[in-house]
Amino acid sequence: MTGIRNRIRFNWFEQVSAAPLAVYRIGFGLLMLFSTLRFIANGWVEAQYISPSFHFSYYGFEWLPYPSPEGIYALFILMLIGSILILLGLFYRIGATLFFLAFTYVELLDKANYLNHYYFVSLIALLLIFIPANRYFSLDAKLGLTKYSKTCSKWNIRILQFQIAIVYIFAGIAKLESDWLLEAQPLKYWLHTAHHWEFFGPILKQDWVAYTFAWFGCIYDLTIVLFLALKKTRKIAYVFVIIFHVTTWLLFPIGVFPWVMMFATLIFFEPSLHEKILNFLRVLFGHHSPAIRRHPNVSRIPRTVIKGALALYIFIQIAMPFRYLLYDGNLFWTEQGFRFSWRVMLMEKAGYATFYVSDPDTHAEVEIKNCDYLTPNQEKMMSTQPDMILQFAHYLEEEYKDTTVERFGTQMTFTAPEVHAEVFVTLNSRPHQLYVDREHNLASIDNDLSERDWLEAFKE
């Protein structure tokens, strides 16, 4: 018992090897460099950030100015510079800050592009600003821009491990629900349609495969951190990490996320492994550690401040995924408290939203063609997410306010338009049901964090 307690009540400021941090820094910089280049090369900057004319801003971040196309590209160039600086450990803190700000700015521009793994990247970049991952095996140390140190405070490593634990454990808890465990949905349908290999196709179509994947995935998410933490099981656990993430990478268009996780979980390994990796890099690049006397790793920030900040961060990370408990209704249906909660691959939703702008005084009414205002991806996301439905409705209200439009040779004047919508949604292979009734004037409903009682109740 005392052994376990000691393990938990460790000294956050105990000096431990900084090798895992150096490897983490290099790996993160490299992956971010690669994924930013990939994003640009795929033309997604244009598709996701330049071509849309309307942007679904985040609650609380509506004030964020939307950059010009040049500005967007500048942000991506800042990300590239930031990731290179992180990778090299050169002006590291500036690099990490640049990367964090540019990346997070871009993410906050449009929630139609929200992905859990982007949120993960933002959090890691934020943590890296405060973690001195540049004291060892870095250009900063070599050039004397920072104090060279082979050691770091234990919390530097622990907080990165904690972040991974949060991702997996909450992803596992989220899977403890009937659709996933009892119906193997949406996995069953996804596996069925994802393949196009002659050999694996028929196997992936078997129901038992979907159930095996669902249960294995759930147990994996819930337990992998424990097995990575225990020395005895660490190696075999890492084999499972590889199997799990390579499988998801092969089956789903999940991007670089599997690679980020496979690399990030290395932080659980002992320093000796990281030293080996660094030695390999030393041989490869002929790097020599500067022959500077070892400095004690003294931070100028008082320990209580660091402890307080860490406690706050940990509290927020644990509390965020549980905020859905504050609301009534089915989480998958209302999506209140869905984002920033590590709910990955849990639901398949498809919606059909028809918007009507009308003015009771002038008897004008038009049916909206969503594609006139939204990209296909935005329309898909909007059709199933209540806050985005409201945002789009409010946008339409602004567009039609005090305007006269001509449709098919007919003039119609709108002064104070009402916006109504009829939305149907299907959730995890259930037959579609009414999501938003046309009776509500969405223009008069505020988009805030209160209960979404204008949504139709979910019927099992």
Tell me the number of residues near another protein by CB under 8 A.
63
Distance separating alpha carbons of residues 189 and 207, to the nearest angstrom: 10
Regarding 412 and contact with another protein (CB under 8 A), the answer is: yes
Stretch that binds another protein, among 95-103, 158-166, 254-262, 439-447 (CB under 8 A): 254-262
- Residue 308 phi/psi, 5° resolution? -60, -45
Q: Name which position in 215, 324, 352, 454 contacts another protein (CB under 8 A).
A: 352
Sheet with strand 418-427: strands edge to edge: 364-367, 349-359, 418-427, 433-436
If the CB atoms of residues 272 and 410 are measured against another protein, the closer one turns out to be 410
Stretch that binds another protein, among 52-60, 312-320, 349-357, 389-397 (CB under 8 A): 349-357
Name the DSSP letter for residue 455.
B
Regarding 253 and contact with another protein (CB under 8 A), the answer is: yes
Q: Which H helix or E strand runs over 436?
A: strand 433-436
Instruction: Identify residue 422 by its one-letter amino acid code.
Output: E
If the CB atoms of residues 114 and 395 are measured against another protein, the closer one turns out to be 114
Regarding 377 and contact with another protein (CB under 8 A), the answer is: yes
If the CB atoms of residues 91 and 119 are measured against another protein, the closer one turns out to be 119
CB of 378 to another protein, least distance (A): 10
If the CB atoms of residues 158 and 430 are measured against another protein, the closer one turns out to be 430
Instruction: Identify residue 128 by its one-letter amino acid code.
Output: L
Regarding 426 and contact with another protein (CB under 8 A), the answer is: yes
Regarding 274 and contact with another protein (CB under 8 A), the answer is: no
Q: Which H helix or E strand runs over 355?
A: strand 349-359
Stretch that binds another protein, among 237-245, 250-258, 279-287, 296-304 (CB under 8 A): 250-258
If the CB atoms of residues 13 and 340 are measured against another protein, the closer one turns out to be 340
Distance separating alpha carbons of residues 236 and 243, to the nearest angstrom: 11
Token pair for 370? 């969503």
Q: Is the dihedral of CA 364, 369, 374, 379 positive or negative?
A: positive
Q: Is the dihedral of CA 278, 282, 285, 291 positive or negative?
A: positive
CB of 220 to another protein, least distance (A): 16
Whether the link from the prior residue into 186 is cis, omega within 30° of 0, is: yes
| β-strand partners of 407 | 410
Distance separating alpha carbons of residues 83 and 92, to the nearest angstrom: 9
Q: Name which position in 424, 436, 442, 443 contacts another protein (CB under 8 A).
A: 424
Q: Name which position in 235, 276, 294, 407 contacts another protein (CB under 8 A).
A: 407
Regarding 365 and contact with another protein (CB under 8 A), the answer is: yes
* All residues at 6 or more sequence positions from 67 whose CB lies less than 8 Å from its CB, including other chains: 74, 75, 109
* Cα angle 210, 212, 217; round to 5: 95
Regarding 205 and contact with another protein (CB under 8 A), the answer is: yes
CB of 35 to another protein, least distance (A): 9
Q: Name which position in 69, 202, 290, 308 contacts another protein (CB under 8 A).
A: 202
Stretch that binds another protein, among 263-271, 280-288, 292-300, 421-429 (CB under 8 A): 421-429
Q: Is the dihedral of CA 26, 93, 120, 270 positive or negative?
A: positive
Regarding 84 and contact with another protein (CB under 8 A), the answer is: no
Distance separating alpha carbons of residues 375 and 308, to the nearest angstrom: 44
Regarding 346 and contact with another protein (CB under 8 A), the answer is: yes
Token pair for 128? 């890296």
Say if residue 430 is exposed, middle or buried (CB neighbours under 10 Å; 0-12, 13-18, 19+): middle
3-state SS assignment for residue 50: helix
Regarding 116 and contact with another protein (CB under 8 A), the answer is: yes
If the CB atoms of residues 26 and 45 are measured against another protein, the closer one turns out to be 45
Regarding 207 and contact with another protein (CB under 8 A), the answer is: yes
Instruction: Identify residue 401 by its one-letter amino acid code.
Output: K
CB of 12 to another protein, least distance (A): 32
Regarding 192 and contact with another protein (CB under 8 A), the answer is: yes
Distance separating alpha carbons of residues 340 and 310, to the nearest angstrom: 19
Q: Which H helix or E strand runs over 427?
A: strand 418-427
Q: Name which position in 84, 104, 201, 233 contacts another protein (CB under 8 A).
A: 201
Regarding 42 and contact with another protein (CB under 8 A), the answer is: yes
Distance separating alpha carbons of residues 413 and 315, to the nearest angstrom: 52
CB of 161 to another protein, least distance (A): 22
Regarding 115 and contact with another protein (CB under 8 A), the answer is: yes
Residues forming contacts to another protein in the complex (CB under 8 A) are 42, 44, 47-48, 113-117, 186, 188-190, 192-194, 196, 201-203, 205-208, 252-257, 338-339, 343-352, 354, 358, 363-367, 376-377, 380, 407-410, 412, 424-426, 429, 431-432
